Each structure stands twice: as C-alpha cells, then as structure tokens.
Amino acid sequence: MYTYRGIHSSWISWFLSSKGNEYFCEVEEDYILDRFNLTGLNTEVSNYSQALDLITDQLADDDIQDELRGALDVQARLLYGLIHARWIVTARGLAKMLEKYKRSDFGRCPRVLCQSQPLLPVGLTDVPYEKSVKLYCGRCEDLYSPKSSRHGSIDGAYFGTTFPHLLFLVYPNLIPPKSGPVDMTQVSSGTTTGSDGKRRKRDEAQEPTPEVIGEINTASVALKAERYKPKIFGFQVHEIAKLHRWQEAVRDRQVARLEELDI
C-alpha cells in the first residue's frame, strides 16, 4: 500500500529520499525506540502512538482506514521532525549532520564574500508551525532563507534553534575562517580528528581535546572578515561609509575586550 514499500526498506529511508527532505538526516532507530527521548512529544502529536508505529514500521497496513492515512502521514512527519530536532543535538546526531555539512547538503552561503561557505539549517523557534527553516552561515554568522521553495516550506522546529551553534561549540576546529576560500579538506580532516577526539575522550581520558581547543584563538577573527564597500565612481558613499566606520568601531571594541580576556 505505502509508496515506500518495495523500493525503500523503511518509512525513514522513504522519507529521507523524498524530494524536499534533503536537509534531514537519519535518526537511528534505537534513539526513537528509547521512550525517554520522546518525552513530551505525545502532547505535540495527535495519533502519537500510531504515528510512532508508522515511523518505526510497526504499523500493519490494515490497522488503519484509508481516510486516516493522509492525516497520519502528516502526524508522522511532524513526529519525525520533532525527534529529529532532538537527535541532531546529540553526539551521534551532530556527527551525522556534520557529514551532510561536509557534502554541502544544506547549500552554500549566497553572500559573495563568504565564498560559497556551506550552510547549516536552523530554526528561529523550537515550536512547530511557526517559522520555516533558515540557513546559518558560520562565516558571516548570519541567517539566510533557502533558495528553493521546497526547502523554504520545511518547519524550522525540525532543526531547532540550537543545532548549528552547538555544532561549532562541540567542534571548534570546524569554525570557518573569516577570509580566504572554503577549504573542505581542512573541514574533513578536522572532522575526523574532532570525532576521533570525542570518541577517545569518552573511551579514555580527556587529554586530546584541550590541546585542540587551545590552538584556536578566535578573539580577533572578525578583523579578517571581508566587507563589501559601496562606491560611486570609485568614491565611497558617505552615509554607508559612516555606518561602516561605526560598525568597525564596535567590532574593534569587541576585539579589544576579547583580547584582554585572551580567548
């Protein structure tokens, strides 16, 4: 009956491969099956148990009537999205999203001076049905709307407000440089060391991570950021240049503050 049967082994793989769902990663089944991880979701999703059964492929086809099926599909998507938002802020979920980030599955920054920096999905709120998903650029640290309307209609709550910032908190060596071309080899090597380091940390002592973090000094990275300067026949535009000077003064204050703290 279901479209996913036959080609796809499970509801999740069918869901992930359908058009427009490219931003989602696979939530591991044992994460979903652990009821602790789903705490509170039963109040968000109607037909919760049936939707959960559908996601985990435990729903027999003849269990539900045809007219319910459409509604159930909507609820199953909502449930999967909400579980997804929780999953991608776990260690394993972050690692999975990192793979997608390395492949630039979320697109690239439209800002010219970000030089096609890969983006990360983020929500503006954690409450479903409020705001669609946005894309966060780690280089200019700003938010962009997805280019395609297929992605523009995904609920932002399925990714949550926390995800990209937690990712860079956990993997500080992946914080993109503020200038120069995007170096994905660095990203991938950083990824492996990062995840290795994490695994080792959990298995053994905590030695590798402090070194990794200690190398990075992000206090003055903002000074390297490139800016576009509007010019008319080569002359800067007065009001914009004035605003830019003010913004750069704000920036320099922050840099001075941070350098004093030696971050």
Partner 1 sequence: MSRRQPQLYSESHLPPGEFEEEQLISGTGEGDEIMEDAHGEEEEGYSSSTPTSTLTWISWFCSLPGHEYYCEVTEDFIEDDFNLTGLNSMVPFWKEAMEMVLDVEPDEETNKIPDVSIVEASAELLYGLVHQRYILTRMGLQAMVEKYEQGIFGACPRVFCNGTHVVPCGRTDIPGHDTVKLYCPNCSDIYTPPSSRFQGVDGAFFGTTFPHLFFQSYRELAPAPFWKPTSGHSSSPTSSRSVSPEAEVPDENGQPGQPKRVKPPPFVNPNPNGGQKRPAGRVYQPKIYGFRVSEQAKSGPRMLWMRLRPQDPEELDMVDWRGRFYDDEDDEYDHEDGAEEDRPMEDFDPDGHDDDDEEEEEEEEEEAHGGYPPQGRTRADFRPPSQSPPSSAPPRTPRDSPVVQAALGSKLTVRGAEGKGKAPGILRPIPATAAT
- Least distance to partner 1 from the beta carbon of 238, Å? 4
Query: Residue 248, interface with partner 1 (CB under 8 A)?
Result: yes
Round to whole Å and give the CA distance between 221 and 206. 27
Nearest approach in angstroms of CB 10 to partner 1 is: 31
Query: Which lies closer to partner 1 via its Cβ, residue 12 or residue 190?
Result: 190
Residue 181 binding partner 1, by CB under 8 A: no
Task: Work out whether 221 is an interface residue with partner 1 (CB under 8 A).
Answer: yes
Considering only residues 104 to 123 of the shown chain, the ones binding partner 1 according to CB under 8 A are 110-113
Interface residue with partner 1 among 161, 182, 195, 197 (CB under 8 A) is: 161
Residue-by-residue DSSP string for 59-107: --GGGS-HHHHHHHHHHHHHHHHHHHHHHTTSHHHHHHHHHHHHTTTT-
212 binds partner 1 (CB under 8 A): no
Closer residue to partner 1 in complex, CB, 16/170: 170
Question: Is 128 among the residues that bind partner 1 (CB under 8 A)?
Answer: no
Cα 181 versus chain centre, distance: 21
74 binds partner 1 (CB under 8 A): no
CB of 113 to partner 1, least distance (A): 7
Q: Which is nearer to partner 1, 48 or 177 (CB)?
A: 177
Q: Least distance (Å) from partner 1 to the CB of residue 225?
A: 6
Angstrom distance (rounded) from CA 24 to CA 84: 8
Q: How far is CA 109 from CA 83, 90, 95, in A?
A: 27, 25, 21
Which residue, 47 or 115, has its beta carbon nearer to partner 1? 115
What are the phi and psi torsion angles at 119 (to 5°)?
-105, 170
Beta bridge partners of 166: none
Q: Would you say 122 and 160 are in contact if contact means Cβ atoms under 8 Å apart?
A: yes
Tokens, residue 131:
């705001």
- 65 in the Ramachandran plot: left (φ > 0), alpha (ψ -120 to 50) or beta? beta
Q: Provide the binding-site residues for partner 1, judged by CB under 8 A.
A: 110-113, 124, 134, 136, 140-145, 147, 161-162, 164-166, 168-169, 172, 175, 178-179, 213, 216, 218, 220-259, 261, 263
